[in-house]
Structure 1
Amino acid sequence: MLILNSFDEFKDIFRSGKKWIRCKEAIENIPNIKQNRYHSIGDSLVYMFKTENHKDEQDFQGHRRYMDIHYYVEGNEQLEISKKAELNIKERYSDETDTEYFHGEGEIINLTSGNFVIIENDEAFKFKGAENLKKVILKVTIEDNYFLNK
C-alpha cells in the first residue's frame, strides 16, 4: 500500500508509462463523465467518479490482474487493509470478476480529501465507513500496456 497526499505528488512520482498517463487523463476527465458508472481508457484502465458512500463490508476483497487506486476528492473514508497471505480465504479467485474474498483482520487507515491510496495485488481491503464521499476509483492493469491473454 502506498498513500500519497495530493494529485501533484502522484504526477511527480508516476511521470511516465502508458497506464500512469491514462490514470492522470482519467482523473482530469472526471467533470465530463457520468457519476457512479465505470468508464474505460484503452484496455489497461477502468475508472469511476464515486459520489455515494460505500456500505461497510464484512469481507476483504483482493484482485490479481488489476490494482486499485483511490483518489479522494472530498469527504473521508476508512479502509481496512492487509496482506492476502495474512488472511483466510473465504471465496476463491474468480477470473471472470478478478476478485477473491478473505476474512481476518488488517490495519485500519483513514483517508481524506487529497489522499491517494494504491493497493497492490498482494493486498486485500474492505470499506469500513465513509462521510460525504467523492472519490475517483481507478482499476489499473498490472501488465505493462496490454493483457497477455488477448
Structure 2
Amino acid sequence: MLFSNITVAEKYNYLEEKFTKAYEWLRSTDIASLQPGSYPIAGDQVVANVQEYTTISPDEASFETHEKFFDIQYVVSGREQFGVCKREGLTVKERREENDLIFYEEPGLSGSVLLEEGDLIIVAPEDAHKPRCVAGVPCQVKKVVVKVAL
C-alpha cells in the first residue's frame, strides 16, 4: 500500500535499494521472537524498531510526521486503525527534533486504514499518520517501524 498525492508520487522510488533491504529483512526475519528495540538493517540508513503496545482510543493519539525518514510500518500481530491525512495545512502542536517527530492538532477531516497481521503501510514525510489506534476493542500489537533515511 502506498498513500501519496500525485504531486509527489514520482518524488520517491519505493523500490530503491534501501527499501528493498527493508522488505527483505521483514520477510526473512523471525520478528515474532525479537524483543522490543532497534535493529540496524543497513547502518543508520535503514533501522527496524520493534514495538509492543496495547491500542488506544483515537482521542489519545496524535497525527505525526517525520522530516528525515520514511516509515514502513509492519504489523507482526494484532490489529490497529492507522490514521492518515496530508501534512499540508495541519497545525503543529509539538516538535521533538531529537526524535524526528512533529505532532499536530487533530484535523477536521482524515481517513484511516485497518492494519492487520502481515499488513504494512509506507509513510513519506509529506504524509501525516496516527498509529496505535484501537480497531474495535483494545488489543496487544507487535509492530516493526522500519525507518528509511531520505
TM range (shorter): 0.7 to 0.9
Q: In 1, distance between residues paired with 2:16 and 2:100?
A: 23
- Could you list the runs of 5+ residues in structure 1 that have no partner in the other structure? 4-12, 143-150
Q: Alignment partner of 1:125: what SS?
A: strand
Normalising by the residue count of structure 2, what TM-score does the alignment of the two structures yield?
0.72
Aligned to 1:107: 111
Deviation at 1:93, TM superposition (A): 6.0
Normalising by the residue count of structure 1, what TM-score does the alignment of the two structures yield?
0.72
Closer, same or farther: CA 104–20 of 1 in aligned 2, 3 Å:
same
Q: Alignment partner of 2:54: what SS?
A: coil
- The answer as to whether partners of 1:36 and 1:52 remain within 8 angstroms in 2 is no
Q: Alignment partner of 1:52: what SS?
A: strand
Aligned residues: 131
Aligned to 2:20: 21
What CA RMSD, in Å, does the superposition of the two structures yield over aligned residues?
2.6
Q: Report sequence identity in percent.
A: 27
> Among 79, 86, 89, which residue is 1:86 paired with?
89
> Among 119, 138, 148, which residue is 1:140 paired with?
148
Deviation at 1:119, TM superposition (A): 0.9
Q: Alignment partner of 2:139: what SS?
A: strand
Aligned to 1:126: 130
- Could you list the runs of 5+ residues in structure 2 that have no partner in the other structure? 4-12
Per-residue CA deviation, residues 46-96 of structure 1 (Å, 9 max, x unaligned), is 1133333344443211101101111123221111121111321112462x2
- The answer as to whether partners of 2:55 and 2:139 remain within 8 angstroms in 1 is no
